[in-house]
Structure 1
Amino acid sequence: MNTFLHRHKAVLSTLLLLLLAVPTLSQDSASLRSQIRKNRKSIAAVKEKLKEANRREDEIAKKLRVTKRRKDEAEVSLAKTESQLDEAQEKLRKLKMRIRQTSIRLLRAQRALESRLREIYVEGEVSYLAVLLQSDDFTDFLNQADYIKLIVKSDSQLINSVKKNKSDLDVQRKSARETVIELTKLTTQKRETVGRLARLKAAQEDLFHRLKVHQKKLSNRIDALEEISAKKEAQLRAYIQRSSVPGYVPIPRSAGKYIYPVNGPITSYYGYRVHPIRGTTRLHTGLDFGVGYGVPILAADNGVVIHSGWYGGYGNTVIVDHGGGYTTLYAHASSLHVRSGETVRQGQMVSKVGSTGMSTGPHLHFEVRYHGNPINPLSCL
Structure 2
Amino acid sequence: RNANDLAFGKTRVVQEGETGLDEVTYKNVYYGDSATANEVNEIERVTLKAPVTRVIDKGTKLPDGQLAQTGSGSLRWPVPNYTYVSRWMSSYHKGADICAAYGSPIVAADSGVVVTAGYHYSYGNYVVIDHGNGYRTLYAHASRLAVGYGQAVSQGQVIAYVGSTGNSYGNHCHFEVYVNGARRSAREWFPGMRTW
Please classify the TM superposition score into its range, dividing by the shorter chain length: 0.5 to 0.7
CA distance in 1, matches of 2:62, 2:70: 16
Residue 260 (1) aligns with residue 86 (2): no
Contact residue 334 and residue 351 of structure 1 kept, 8 A: yes
Q: Give the letter for the 1:253 counterpart.
A: T
CA distance in 2, matches of 1:333, 1:296: 9
State the partner residue of 1:302. 111
**Aligned length in residues:** 139
Contact residue 315 and residue 332 of structure 1 kept, 8 A: yes
CA distance in 2, matches of 1:268, 1:244: 38
RMSD of equivalent CA atoms = 2.2
Q: Which runs of no fewer than 5 residues in structure 2 stay unpaired?
A: 12-60, 191-196
CA distance in 2, matches of 1:372, 1:18: 24
Greater RCO structure (CA 8 Å; 6+ sep):
2
Question: Which TM-score applies when normalising by structure 2?
Answer: 0.64
Residue 329 (1) aligns with residue 138 (2): yes
Deviations 1:31-70, CA, capped at 9 Å, x for gaps: xxxxxxxxxxxxxxxxxxxxxxxxxxxxxxxxxxxxxxxx
Q: Give the letter for the 1:291 counterpart.
A: A
- Aligned-residue sequence identity (percent) comes to 40
For residues 325 and 356 of structure 1, do their structure 2 counterparts lie closer, same or farther at Cα, with a shift above 3 Å needed? Answer: same
CA distance in 2, matches of 1:286, 1:302: 20
State the partner residue of 2:147. 338
What does 1:207-356 align with in structure 2 at a 5 Å threshold? 243-245=62-64, 247-249=65-67, 251-262=68-79, 263-264=81-82, 265-272=84-91, 282=92, 284-356=93-165
For residues 291 and 304 of structure 1, do their structure 2 counterparts lie closer, same or farther at Cα, with a shift above 3 Å needed? Answer: same
CA distance in 2, matches of 1:244, 1:341: 8
CA distance in 1, matches of 2:101, 2:129: 22
Once the two structures are TM-superposed, the CA of residue 376 in structure 1 deviates from its matched residue by 0.9
What does 1:155-166 align with in structure 2 at a 5 Å threshold? none
Larger Rg: 1
CA distance in 2, matches of 1:344, 1:243: 12
Question: Which TM-score applies when normalising by structure 1?
Answer: 0.34
Higher strand share: 2
Q: Give the letter for the 1:320 counterpart.
A: I
Higher helix share: 1
CA distance in 1, matches of 2:189, 2:113: 18
Residue 18 (1) aligns with residue 3 (2): yes
Q: Which runs of no fewer than 5 residues in structure 1 stay unpaired?
A: 1-15, 28-241, 273-281
CA distance in 1, matches of 2:184, 2:168: 21
Contact residue 96 and residue 175 of structure 2 kept, 8 A: yes
Q: Give the letter for the 1:313 counterpart.
A: S
Deviations 1:294-316, CA, capped at 9 Å, x for gaps: 00001000010011110230000
